């Protein structure tokens, strides 16, 4: 009986979305393959640190930590048009990307949610990689 329950749990867990943290190298490889990058930081952060070339700017949380999930999802779904489509979230330090990524994978049903480990600061800029100032 225990084996049946274990097999059932493994099967059910395989149906759920996958949220993956990528190293800088994995992130760069995914970008080369055309995986869309969505930067969820605020406008002031885009100006301060710049953005990774080719990324979509789609702010999730405002300066007070508030958000409009319906508005954000409508804009997000114009970029990610299929729940099986892989995409990568980027924020400053990968705290917000974890929160948003887990929401998208666990509650919204997206299957290939990824984030850049360390965010744009530790996973990109501190590795000597450039950004575009906007």
Q: What is the CATH number of the domain that holds 76?
A: 3.40.250.10
**Domain contains 44:** yes
- Name the band, by pLDDT with cuts 50, 70 and 90, for residue 18: confident
Task: Give the residue among 112, 92, 133 at the shortest CA–CA distance from 20.
Answer: 112
Contacts of 63 (CB under 8 A, 6+ apart): 42, 44
Predicted model pTM: 0.87
**Domain contains 3:** no
Contacts by residues 98-101 (CB-CB < 8 Å, ≥ 24 positions apart)? 100/40, 100/60, 101/19
**Domain contains 134:** no
Q: Reduced to 3 states, what is the DSSP secondary structure of residue 23?
A: coil
**Domain contains 9:** no
CA distance linking residue 47 with residue 36, whole number of Å? 21
Burial label for 64, CB within 10 Å (0-12, 13-18, 19+), is exposed
Dig out the tokens for 111 from the structure.
């299957």
- Name the band, by pLDDT with cuts 50, 70 and 90, for residue 44: very high
Dig out the tokens for 97 from the structure.
């990307």
Q: Structural domain tally of the chain?
A: 1
Residue 12 has what pLDDT?
Answer: 45
Tell me the pLDDT tens digit for each residue of 69-109: 999 999 999 999 999 999 999 999 999 999 999 999 999 99
**Domain contains 96:** yes
Instruction: Check whether 7 has a pLDDT greater than 80.
Output: no
């Amino acid at each position: 009986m225990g084996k049946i329950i274990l097999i059932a749990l493994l099967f059910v867990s395989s149906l759920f979305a996958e949220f993956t943290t990528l190293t800088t190298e994995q992130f760069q490889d995914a970008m080369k393959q055309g995986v869309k990058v969505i930067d969820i930081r605020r406008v002031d952060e885009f100006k301060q640190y710049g953005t990774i070339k080719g990324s979509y700017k789609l702010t999730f949380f405002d300066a007070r930590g508030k958000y409009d999930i319906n508005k954000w999802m409508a804009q997000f779904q114009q970029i990610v048009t299929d729940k099986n489509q892989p995409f990568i979230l980027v924020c400053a330090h990968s705290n917000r990307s974890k929160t948003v990524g887990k929401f998208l994978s666990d509650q919204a049903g997206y299957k290939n949610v990824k984030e850049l480990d360390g965010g744009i600061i530790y996973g990109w800029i501190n590795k000597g990689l450039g950004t575009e100032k906007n």
